[in-house]
Amino acid sequence: MRTNLFKLVAIAILFVGLVPLSDQLMTKILFDQSLPILKPVRVEAQMLANKRSEPSRLDATSRAYLDRVLALTNVCPRMKHDFDGFMIGYNIVRAVEEASEINGVSQDLLLAVIAAESRCNANAVSRAGAMGLMQITPRTARSLGIEQLFSIQQNIFGGAKYLARLLDKYNGDVRLALAAYNSGPGIVKRYQGLPPYSETSKYVGKVMAFRTRFGQIKRS
């Protein structure tokens, strides 16, 4: 009875995030196979394991997700380094993976745009009215069929769809697609290439740098 009570308390702590978990307690929760309730969400939970806490026991998929989430938290300083922050990062990584597969846009590029546009803040709103992780305007959202711009999944799927259109429009030229994403296709057309705007130039450079950084992470 005492053992079952311990497990229930441990699960509550893990999912509610009431207190920080020690490496020892986290490891027991993650790898205690007598906790069947955790099996459907084992990947999510495993990502929270401290790398110093028996890292070899994390399967390859979980380690890959963990590395990508940690990379996001490193470039997104506003993301909390706790349970909630890791789960937000995990949801972003999963949505990016799915959107990448559906729209044919690389995960590295999508993660880079998210980092540059909103620093992983799903509730971000710019002065121009762009919203969410990939900073999509309401007008663009309507053309993409996106209704909830503050939804992690919908925003990422919309941004991926829009980037796919731009990449197709510019024959795969990532820099032109990013310039159009930042300043609009009309501006790129006007200058017949990268517009001579400092903001756009810095934006393209930032996204490309983030893309390289994310590209260095080994995937499962």
Instruction: Give pLDDT tens digits for 37-88.
Output: 333 344 444 545 444 345 455 566 667 777 888 888 888 877 766 667 777 8
What are the chain's domains?
A: 105-215 (1.10.530.10)
Instruction: Give pLDDT tens digits for 135-164.
Output: 999 999 999 999 999 999 999 999 999 999
Choice between 181 and 73, residue whose per-residue pLDDT is larger: 181
Choice between 52 and 169, residue whose per-residue pLDDT is larger: 169
* The pLDDT of residue 56: 54
Give the Cα separation of 99 and 85 in Å (integer).
21
Which residues are tagged catalytic? 117
Give the Cα separation of 147 and 206 in Å (integer).
28
Q: CB within 8 A of 85, min separation 6: which ones?
A: 73, 79
* The pLDDT of residue 26: 44
